[in-house]
């Protein structure tokens, strides 16, 4: 398993991203050259508590400390309820086909957090030099972090010198280089909605006579639900000798369990059948479109709201409001 996969361990991914940047940058630094072998490296770059700080007596170090992070709650209402039978990224959550409807739950938002690099050295001037190089590198390369999933970096600051006790006997000079970041991440899970089951009854000839056979039908494979949960549309028309297609679903209005056959002719041509006894829960649409506008007072772009384009009627009122500044 890849420990730094953002879909498995966000904590380690954040640390890995910012540690990798510092290690990569100083690997090409002529004075404070970092190499993976700590015996050969001229500077130690590691995670908090990963090394004995007594090594500061022999060479300088950059110790990373991850601060708190959490969801910024910029994006809401993000559940993907119409994806058929599988999750787009989490393959292990793919369910086996059944008569139930399956859908993804997809949550995506921005993580907001902070990172602190603790620059430590026995020599104050040396600590200042390393901290300055790291500060400038972060400032110059912050746009490149977007390639690796960091949406934005802000508030890069460099602290003042302070004495740090690394052991009971050794003191070092410490300087912090801090920043805040936002990173977009998604979380997915497969969800079993259980809001409709369809069973087709067909005649079957056996040695003892003709019996009725039940066949499970699968949503998005054999049929789909359309017209706000009032119609079943088959991908292939049921055979003319079909006895019935029986549904079991939760009604969208009463939330009662309804068991009923569909209404329609089985003639090998008809593909659309009416749901009787109610409306299938989960398909009722409140709004087909939403228009959000934020125009400046100087803007004059005419009437945006026409019945043919949006379904909204022109009220004759100006659609001019104060400008909206949205900053991430």
- The single residue listed with the structure tokens 């994006």 is 75
Q: Are residues 320 and 246 in the same domain?
A: no
Higher pLDDT, 251 or 92: 251
d(C-alpha 226, C-alpha 102), whole Å: 16
Residue that is last in its domain, among 189, 224, 241: 189
Q: Are residues 28 and 166 in the same domain?
A: yes
- For residue 53, the model assigns a pLDDT of 66
The count of residues in the chain is: 328
- For residue 103, the model assigns a pLDDT of 47
Q: At what angle do helices 10-26 and 124-141 cross, to 10 degrees?
A: 110
Residue that is last in its domain, among 234, 249, 274: 274
d(C-alpha 139, C-alpha 156), whole Å: 7
Rounded mean pLDDT, 262-287: 85
Within a domain: residue 281? no
Q: Can you tell me whether residue 273 is helix, strand or coil?
A: strand
d(C-alpha 249, C-alpha 232), whole Å: 12
- The single residue listed with the structure tokens 């949406």 is 151
| Whether the Cβ atoms of residue 249 and residue 281 lie closer than 8 Å to each other | yes
d(C-alpha 311, C-alpha 48), whole Å: 58
Q: For residue 328, what pLDDT band results from cuts at 50, 70 and 90?
A: very low
Q: Are residues 104 and 203 in the same domain?
A: no
Task: Please name every residue paired with 186 in a beta bridge, in sequence order, or none if there are none.
Answer: 108
Residue that is last in its domain, among 274, 300, 318: 274
pLDDT, one tens digit per residue, over 7-42 is 467 888 888 889 999 999 999 998 999 998 888 899
| Whether the Cβ atoms of residue 3 and residue 9 lie closer than 8 Å to each other | yes
| Whether the Cβ atoms of residue 177 and residue 157 lie closer than 8 Å to each other | yes
Q: For residue 112, what pLDDT band results from cuts at 50, 70 and 90?
A: very high
Structural domain range at position 240: 195-274
| Whether the Cβ atoms of residue 14 and residue 7 lie closer than 8 Å to each other | no
pLDDT, one tens digit per residue, over 154-185 is 999 999 888 876 666 667 889 999 999 998 88
pLDDT at 316 over 70: no
Q: Are residues 51 and 177 in the same domain?
A: yes
Higher pLDDT, 221 or 92: 221
Non-local CB neighbours of 89 within 8 Å, separated by 6+ positions? 7, 186, 188
Q: Are residues 203 and 80 in the same domain?
A: no
| Whether the Cβ atoms of residue 234 and residue 260 lie closer than 8 Å to each other | no
pLDDT, one tens digit per residue, over 94-106 is 444 443 444 445 6
Q: How many domains does the chain have?
A: 3
pLDDT at 322 over 70: no
Within a domain: residue 283? no
- For residue 200, the model assigns a pLDDT of 95
- The reported pTM is 0.51
Q: Are residues 200 and 116 in the same domain?
A: no
- For residue 93, the model assigns a pLDDT of 45
- For residue 188, the model assigns a pLDDT of 63
Poorest-pLDDT segment among 38-42, 128-132, 135-139: 38-42
| Whether the Cβ atoms of residue 221 and residue 176 lie closer than 8 Å to each other | no
Q: Are residues 182 and 207 in the same domain?
A: no
d(C-alpha 231, C-alpha 223), whole Å: 10
d(C-alpha 91, C-alpha 190), whole Å: 10
């Amino acid at each position: 398993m890849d420990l730094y996969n953002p879909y498995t361990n966000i904590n380690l991914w954040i640390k890995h991203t910012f540690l990798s940047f510092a290690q990569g940058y100083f690997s090409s630094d002529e004075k404070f050259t970092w190499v993976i072998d700590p015996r050969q490296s001229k500077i130690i770059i590691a995670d908090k508590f990963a090394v004995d700080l007594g090594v500061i007596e022999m060479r300088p170090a950059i110790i990373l400390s991850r601060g708190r992070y959490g969801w910024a709650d910029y994006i809401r209402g993000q559940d993907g309820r119409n994806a058929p039978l599988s999750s787009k990224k989490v393959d292990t959550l793919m369910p086996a086909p059944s008569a139930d409807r399956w859908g993804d739950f997809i949550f995506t938002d921005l993580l907001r957090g902070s990172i602190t690099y603790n620059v430590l050295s026995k020599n104050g001037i040396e600590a200042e030099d390393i901290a300055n190089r790291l500060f400038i590198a972060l400032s110059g390369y912050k746009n490149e972090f977007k390639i690796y999933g960091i949406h934005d970096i802000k508030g890069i600051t460099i602290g003042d010198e302070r004495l740090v006790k690394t052991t009971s006997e050794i003191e070092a000079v410490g300087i912090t280089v801090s920043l805040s970041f936002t990173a977009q991440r998604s979380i997915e899970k497969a969800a079993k909605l259980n809001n409709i089951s369809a069973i087709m009854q067909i005649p079957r000839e056996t040695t003892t006579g003709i019996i009725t056979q039940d066949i499970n039908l699968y949503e998005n494979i054999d049929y789909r639900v359309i017209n706000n949960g009032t119609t079943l549309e088959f991908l292939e028309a049921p055979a003319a000798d079909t006895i019935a297609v029986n549904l079991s679903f939760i009604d969208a209005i009463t939330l009662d369990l309804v068991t009923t056959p569909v209404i329609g002719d089985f003639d090998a041509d008809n593909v659309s059948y009416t749901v009787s006894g109610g409306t299938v829960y989960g398909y009722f649409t409140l709004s087909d479109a939403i228009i959000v506008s934020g125009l400046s007072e100087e803007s004059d772009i005419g009437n945006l709201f026409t019945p043919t384009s949006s379904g909204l009627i022109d009220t004759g009122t100006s659609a001019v409001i104060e400008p909206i500044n949205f900053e991430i």
